[in-house]
Structure 1
Amino acid sequence: MSTAVTEPPGVTVRSPAPDLARGFMLLLIALSHAPAFVDTSNAGPAALDAVATFVKSLLADNQARNMFVFLFGYGLGQLAYRQHARGEDWTSTKKLMRRRALGLIAIGFANTVLLVPIDIIAVYGLTLLVLAPLVRARATVLWWTGVLTLVPATLLLAWQSVAAQSKPSTIAEIMEPTFGAHLVASIPSWPGKTIVSTVIVVPAMLAGILAARRRLLDDPERHVPLLRRVAVLGLGLAIIGRLPAALMAAGAWTTTSAPVGWSVAIAHDLTGYAGGIAMAAAVGLVAVRTRHGRLATAMAALGQRSLTFYLFQAVVWVTLFYPFTLALHDDISFAATLLIAIAVWALSIALADLLRATGHRGPLETLLRRLTYRPHTTRPTP
């Protein structure tokens, strides 16, 4: 028996389209998260706040996460493909995924405790830990599992959305006054939230694994017709399904009917899955034409370091909004937070491109790599 280290592929061989999609995804994540850290009673100009609320609901809420999860599943499919191409058996690949899952759970827990109580990283890790065998399941199994889990996932999201319709709340309402109190505040609820949230991510994750098997984003030039259909149909469905909730969130339409409220929430959250996947397909189409441009290169650099800059956003939110830092949660309007989100994303692109130019990975990607790729025993070469 011989001991070897399985090295993951270098950044130089990555396909640009998935990374471009991850780079764009971070904009949607920022738009979704930034408004959560300001007091809803501290409104700016009513018209601007209404427009900002409409944009956030239509584009980001319960849609940005689905694009993120789809790309996570796509990355798992890529990982399995590369391991198979190296001649690794399923046992070694499963162990690698287990180490990756545990690393994600640890990073997500640290994010929740040290930074903000909005975390998807640990949810990814727990979902991968439980559902790793599905990475190599037959396509029919993935399809049926995705469809069946879509029902409870949508109902759970709709329940949250209906609650928000009657009583909007933000993280600003539960911010702790000191850093010490902040460190312990999120720990009791973290396990339950993480476990429940795994239900939400399964459908889009499995769709990503299926897309990776067809290499839709690795070879987008070969799949332009399919990508175009997914982008057009998915985005069209998302706009139609999410428009009523966006109008309701912006105050342009109201209803006192509980069935109507539930219907609006279900349509919004269900079509968010279609919209998230369609956005990834749309970026794949863009990559066919612009993959070698300067902006595309910088965006891909951001996508390669998406874990690092997801947490970078959290650092910014803590720095700007929490009572024990700059405490701007009472001074910034809802609309202004979207401008801040865009500025943070633009800064992320510049910093990621600087890391690329100087030959550095993202620090969190480096950490996860070290946690994942450890020496392990392989069979001797015949």
Structure 2
Amino acid sequence: MTASFSGSDSPVSASTRSVESYQASRFGRWLLAFGLGHAALLLATDVLAAYGVISLVIGAFLLRRSDRALITWSAIGAALLTLLLISGIAFASAPADPAAMGPTPATASGAGDENYLIAGISRITTWLVLTCLTTFGLTAPVAMLLGIWAARRRILEEPHRHLPLLRRTAIIGITICWLGSLPAALVQIGAVPEVNEAALWALQWPTGLAGGLGYVALFGLLANRISRRAKPSRAITAISAVGKRSLSCYLTHSLIMAPVLAAWGLGLGAHLTNATTACFAIGLWLITVAAAYWLDRRGRRGPAEHLLRRLVYRN
């Protein structure tokens, strides 16, 4: 839908703009509602609500602006993220303060509570904080603005026309992302002593944006190569089916993982190691791939996508 908003560079009729702006607003509000339900019932780290809020803000102020406006605001956000990255590097060597570490992820997310209702209070509280951080943390808004710009130029729809840009973005973005994640990975495996947690966040948020852009560019390059084949393999078709049903797959992961791993459910999360957790996650992902492929073969949307589309376009 964002590709149809062409801004002042390619104006559309006022009536079309009005309809599309109204639909974008409905999409943001319903995505926010989906996120609230998701967090209240299952997962404190829901991202749907933040995407809904950001969509509402961008839809109201920037969606119909020119490409130059999108790039300008993206550059401002990237500059602020660069300052955050510099501060993260400066404070990374500061000793960790155990008293300032705050609650553990299990406590904050409610996964460690055996009472489902009490866990729900923790989930909502954490969700509100994380939604604000994601909304105002600049990474997601900048990514969305650049996504609108890329959609207008059909960079991913026609990757063969933008191969140099995609190659540079993939190499630079993924390299920056890996370098930004390296300190946290070294801490996780015990290769280096504990460092300031806030510094790790300051390192990963800006470099995560670069990584997101890099991986999107990499997928665009892969899509360009795959498109040359006469017929894509079943594996490619299955993974593409997951992308078309990403909302349903995302919610399915929570629907299975939360009751199985949380203390208010089966509580298996307290007994899994890093290796067994990875095996569990991969197995669950493969199940969703198989389900998405099954739906794709029958020409059906994912249930969440079907519901969201009906709510947004019901009129």
Shorter-chain TM-score range: 0.7 to 0.9
Give the structure 2 partner of residue 49 of structure 1: none
| 1:272 CA displacement | 1.5
Among candidates 176, 183, 191, match of residue 237 of structure 1: 176
Cα pair 2:45 2:126 within 8 Å, conserved:
no
Among candidates 116, 138, 151, match of residue 179 of structure 1: 116
Matched, 1:338 2:275: no
Matched, 1:220 2:159: yes
- Secondary structure (helix, strand or coil) at the match of 1:347 reads helix
Cα pair 1:243 1:268 within 8 Å, conserved:
no
Q: Relative to 1, partners in 2 of residues 1:324 and 1:240: Cα closer, same or farther, differing over 3 Å?
A: closer
- Secondary structure (helix, strand or coil) at the match of 1:135 reads coil
Give the structure 2 partner of residue 80 of structure 1: 5
**Equivalent-residue separation in structure 2 for 1:197 and 1:210 (angstroms):** 21
Give the structure 2 partner of residue 276 of structure 1: 212
Q: Relative to 1, partners in 2 of residues 1:111 and 1:185: Cα closer, same or farther, differing over 3 Å?
A: same
1:1-382 superposed matches below 5 A = 77-80=2-5, 89-132=16-59, 133-150=61-78, 155=84, 167=101, 169-171=104-106, 174-175=110-111, 176-200=113-137, 201-254=140-193, 265-291=201-227, 292-375=232-315
**Equivalent-residue separation in structure 1 for 2:107 and 2:282 (angstroms):** 20
Normalising by structure 1, what TM-score?
0.69
Instruction: Give the letter aligned to residue 331 of structure 1.
Output: H
**Equivalent-residue separation in structure 2 for 1:311 and 1:108 (angstroms):** 10
| 1:340 CA displacement | 1.6
Q: Relative to 1, partners in 2 of residues 1:368 and 1:163: Cα closer, same or farther, differing over 3 Å?
A: farther
| 1:190 CA displacement | 3.9
Instruction: Give the letter aligned to residue 166 of structure 2.
Output: L
In structure 1, the gaps of 5 or more residues are 1-75, 376-382
| 1:192 CA displacement | 4.4
Cα pair 1:80 1:135 within 8 Å, conserved:
yes
CA-to-aligned-CA distance 1:188-220 (integer Å, 9 cap, x gap): 454444233212311111111111121111111
- Secondary structure (helix, strand or coil) at the match of 1:186 reads helix
| 1:370 CA displacement | 1.0
Q: Relative to 1, partners in 2 of residues 1:268 and 1:322: Cα closer, same or farther, differing over 3 Å?
A: closer
Instruction: Give the letter aligned to residue 275 of structure 2.
Output: A
| 1:372 CA displacement | 0.9
Identity across the alignment (%): 32
**Equivalent-residue separation in structure 2 for 1:195 and 1:78 (angstroms):** 27
How many matched pairs?
294
| 1:287 CA displacement | 1.1
CA RMSD of superposed structures (Å): 3.1
Cα pair 2:95 2:194 within 8 Å, conserved:
no
| 1:113 CA displacement | 0.5
Cα pair 1:126 1:195 within 8 Å, conserved:
no
CA-to-aligned-CA distance 1:203-261 (integer Å, 9 cap, x gap): 111111111121111111222222111111211222233323322332212376x6xx8
Cα pair 2:74 2:142 within 8 Å, conserved:
yes
In structure 2, the gaps of 5 or more residues are none
Stretches (4+) displaced over 6 A: 84-87, 161-165
